[in-house]
Amino acid sequence: MITEPLTPQPAIPVASLDDPAFYISRELSWLEFNDRVLEEGLDERNALMERLKFVAIYGTNLDEFFMIRVAAIKQQIEAQVMRRSEDGRTPTEHLAAISQRLRTSLPLQMRLLNEQLLPALDLEGIRLMRVGELDDETQAVLERTFDDNVFPVLTPLAVDSGHPFPYISNLSLSLAVELEEATSDGVELHFARVKIPPTLPRFVPVEGAKERRFVLLEDLIAHHLDGLFPGMHVRDSYLFRVTRDADLDLQEDEADDLLRAIESELRRRRFGEPVRLEVERGMPEYIRDFLCSSLELEPVDCYEIEGLMALSDLWQIVNLPGYEHLRDKPYMPAIPKRLIGVTDIFAQIREGDILLHHPYESFDPVIQFLQQAAEDEKVLAIKATLYRTSGTNSPIVRALLTAAENEKQVAVVIELKARFDEQNNIEWAKRLERAGAHVVYGFANQKVHAKTLLVVRQDEDGLRRYMHFGTGNYNEKTARLYTDLSLFTCRHDLGTDDAALFNALTGFSKVTDYEDLWVAPVTFHRELIARIDRETEHARAGRTAGIRAKINAITEGDVVRALYRASQAGVPIDLLVRGMCVLRPGVPGVSENIRVRSIVGRFLEHSRIFTFDNGGDLETIIASADWMGRNLDRRVELAVPVLDPVMAETLASQILTVLLADNVKSRELRGDGTYARLSPGPGEMPVDAQRVFLAQAQGL
């Protein structure tokens, strides 16, 4: 909650706001966020399958962190970049700090899985067993499974003077196998690698049991290694896993044909430079050293794992059918009363703006908006930006295909560089082109991350533009998992701006200003700084001032310094930052008026909302962008003013207020860069914001 402004302190000179002591490492801040995810797995108030889900998310997040962030740091080290980040660390120091921090977090994760979650699953009849623990009859059944379904897929690779160290693909699991061969000169030791096939289920079902029993695929393979190396004695085997640089590296002058360039980069992704080696605990030091040497990794890059590797594979268990008592209670997203039974969504938009709060309110109206536009004879043109969709059967893209087939003018800006969704977007781009749509692939040096749909319709009183603006992707699946906002409007000025944006995206238009929209990289950054500076001036003049913002990350230095100046002037600032936050709150004379909280709960907090008190004339903004350099300066992003005063007040005084009152899933950032979980004080009621919004949507 916003508190009364504190007595302004003497302002610290602007130059000194660059002091590294005022900044938190963005990498360590990200690891703090992932620890908050893991904390949800530790929380016994959460259902068992949900706790397991958070462990899977923790592992998936960490994989991406190494593939992108750590890979970038290692590139800087290789290029001998010595420039320090705003928190004062060099790339080498950052790498060491990451390694040190993870050697604390990873054992906690493994203890949670090994000592709490797996035993709890066992009590529920979901058992992960070793092959050697099974009776002879069951082992015989598994042996047939191995012979029929696993053995034909395996390719053992020897490593010696005649067989160079094999290529280890990104995120693949492998067995390092020690072999002994009896020769006339005595016993010779050999080394081989066996890849665990990623095309087979990691958790192999054990048939014939009342419980759901599984063995790990790597354990099944290790149990039958003798069959892969006849005439040799298998001394032992050890699991390991390699993570590689997976970020696309497109050179602008090499990307005249962006589609082909990205297709080529995707083929190269699995061959990126190694950045991490995970090894099974107990692996002999000489094998570990050999793997590090062969992969050209340092000891700081090697992590010993006691238990399960590749935690993202836990989704196979999380998604087991049944076990509803081990999951969150299901819910049905609500349809706002204004849209219940509506067949003409355009008529509703003409009556006034419509705001949806996902996932509490359904994403279906967004799909209906496009589907109606695709079939409506009065619709002349549809324009859309697509960053991530829902895979091979997206209703959003199907509606765009229908519109193109109905000979409407369809223009789609598809971001081919949406990380880890590139292949999916390439396929959609080709299908849309075949249907007759105009497809723009974005730009080599900028991602198009803005979320907007524009429909041009011939109404009885003339042409009108209908728009949807969102804070999240056009993906009906993640719309049930992420908190986001949708705004439908046909306001003329917003339509003019949105049309200008699409002209800039699809043509040679060089728009340098917009009436109402903030558009990155053109105006967003300066508009944001201007709003923060305006609050600073209001506070200095004794007028009402205040900033509240809900974002996913804040790392951009100019924005942080503007917030510091506002705090020095006495502006109360409340930030809800889900992930990275380099701003250090509570620094005397700098940021004592700034509070930072993070909510990690059932749904991923993804929406971006900014409010500025503005001397009593409240301004409310929703956006696709976070306060990061990449969003503000190197992407196409949108921020949209909420011009309906009732909706603006709802966002400010209801949604943001409830989120800031959360004392169940909320953590507060302390000045040392760590987070303290909040809990209800004496006499206080517990407030779980996501549960409050669910109850409101369900009419409870």
pLDDT tens figures, 404-443: 999 999 999 987 654 555 566 677 778 888 888 898 876 6
Indicate which residue of 223, 449, 468, 538 is catalytic.
449
Q: Per-residue pLDDT for 56 more than 50?
A: yes
Tokens, residue 653: 């005084």
* Host H or E run for residue 233: strand 233-244
Better pLDDT: 517 or 511: 517
pLDDT of residue 439: 87
91-326, what's its fold? polyphosphate kinase like (3.30.1840)
* DSSP per residue, 29-48: HHHHHHHHHHHHHH-TTS-H
Sequence length of the chain is 700
pLDDT tens figures, 288-323: 999 999 999 999 999 999 999 999 999 999 999 999
Q: Indicate the pLDDT class of residue 186, thresholds 50, 70 and 90.
A: confident
Better pLDDT: 270 or 353: 353
The domains of the chain are located at 14-24+519-697, 91-326, 337-512
pLDDT tens figures, 40-55: 999 999 999 999 999 9
Residue with the two structure tokens 């289920």: 201
Burial of 112 (0-12, 13-18, 19+ CB in 10 A): buried
pLDDT of residue 14: 62
The percentage of the chain sitting over the pLDDT mark of 90, rounded to a whole number, equals: 78
pLDDT tens figures, 659-694: 999 999 999 999 999 999 999 989 999 999 999 999
Say how far apart CA 278 and CA 401 lie, in whole Å: 44
pLDDT tens figures, 22-32: 999 999 999 99
Q: Average the pLDDT over 585-609 and give the result.
A: 96
List strands edge to edge, sheet with 274-280: 157-159, 186-195, 173-183, 233-244, 274-280, 302-305
Query: How many C-beta neighbours within 10 Å does residue 45 have?
Result: 9
Tokens, residue 642: 């909420």
**Domains 14-24+519-697 and 337-512 are alike in CATH topology:** yes
Q: Model-level pTM?
A: 0.90
Q: Average the pLDDT over 629-648 and give the result.
A: 95
* Host H or E run for residue 661: helix 656-661
Say how far apart CA 605 and CA 115 lie, in whole Å: 29
Q: Indicate the pLDDT class of residue 3, thresholds 50, 70 and 90.
A: very low
State yes or no: is 163 an active-site residue: no
CATH of range 337-512; options 3.40.50.720, 3.30.2310.20, 3.30.870.10, 3.65.10.10: 3.30.870.10
CATH of domain 14-24+519-697: 3.30.870.10
